[in-house]
Amino acid sequence: MAAAKVEEKELENHHNSDCLIQLSNPNLATMKEDVLYHFSLSTSTHDFPAMFGEVKFVCVGGSPSRMNTFIRYVATQLGLDRPGEEFPNICAGTDRYAMYKVGPVLSVSHGMGIPSISIMLHELIKLLYHARCSNVTIIRIGTSGGIGLEPGSVVITRQAVDACFKPEFEQLVLGKRVVRSTDLDEQLVQELMKCSADLSEFTTVVGNTMCTLDFYEGQGRLDGALSSYKQAYLRAAHAAGIRNIEMESSVFAAMCSMCGL
């Protein structure tokens, strides 16, 4: 969990300019109530600025129990833990996602795959907007399949690419193809790399991350109910600078970049 160490460093670096969340949806301004269905939170029943206003760092990952482990680790690192203290699940009213908070850090689960993380990100971005958060850094952490790396290595993603190795996230909006860029914050990549070098606990590389819609066939695994393994494809991916494969990075990059995160 190298990312945890980053929190503290980032806290010092990013406090100068005031960067707010940008929503690309004029309808929200005219809505009396905004219900975040899949968090079981609503602007009419919860005080978002009081609950989340101080948030500066959001860490997201697939599994609810891992995000709970993560917030307890962050609490220890920040000296904000108290003996016997539990971190309650802020989204306890639903079993879609789990959310935990300590100080300026929010830890949220997103399930598996682009659609699942996309629903969570829509609601998370609105939550940060309603809470009037500023200068928020968001990091996804999770397991992934390495290409040409020792198991246990950490890959910091420079660019998320699709299954054709293109740095694009293609989405069907109302039946029409919309293509969005998947660039990530290069300064954050460098800072994370520096943190990892200072820690020197894990082999860490910067590379591109391939995002697929499928775990078995999409990633060329041998052991699905249907199978599609080809060594040549993985070799071509490595040659294209791809160092790992997972299932959420492209929409994460596209949505964060569109909303000024």
**Which residues sit at the interface with a copy of itself, rule CB under 8 A?**
23-28, 31, 34-35, 38, 62-65, 95-96, 111-116, 118-119, 121-123, 125-126, 129, 162-165, 171-175, 212-218, 220, 222-230, 233, 247, 255, 258-259
Nearer to a copy of itself, 118 or 196 (CB): 118
Nearer to a copy of itself, 9 or 46 (CB): 46
Nearer to a copy of itself, 191 or 246 (CB): 246
Q: 10 Å Cβ neighbour count for 113?
A: 18
Angle at 117 between CA 46 and CA 121, to 5 degrees: 45
Nearer to a copy of itself, 5 or 238 (CB): 238
Going from the C-alpha of 73 to that of each of 63, 106, 191, 198, 249, the distances in angstroms are 15, 12, 20, 19, 24
Q: Side-chain half-sphere of 152: how many Cα atoms within 13 Å? A: 4
* Local structure of 51: helix, strand or coil: helix
Q: C-beta of 7: minimal distance to a copy of itself in Å?
A: 24
Nearer to a copy of itself, 67 or 154 (CB): 67
Q: C-beta of 16: minimal distance to a copy of itself in Å?
A: 25
Q: C-beta of 243: minimal distance to a copy of itself in Å?
A: 17
Nearer to a copy of itself, 174 or 197 (CB): 174
Q: Which pair of tokens denotes residue 154? A: 């950490």
Nearer to a copy of itself, 17 or 27 (CB): 27
The string of DSSP codes covering 103-134 is TTEEEEE--SSHHHHHHHHHHHHHHHHHTT-B
Q: How far apart are CA 57 and CA 188, in angstroms?
A: 12
Q: Which of 112, 67, 110, 109 is nearest to 211 (CA)?
A: 112
Q: C-beta of 229: minimal distance to a copy of itself in Å?
A: 7
Q: Which pair of tokens denotes residue 25? A: 């949806």
Sheet holding 57-61, edge to edge: 99-102, 105-109, 57-61, 137-140
Q: C-beta of 105: minimal distance to a copy of itself in Å?
A: 21
Q: C-beta of 214: minimal distance to a copy of itself in Å?
A: 5
Q: C-beta of 173: minimal distance to a copy of itself in Å?
A: 5
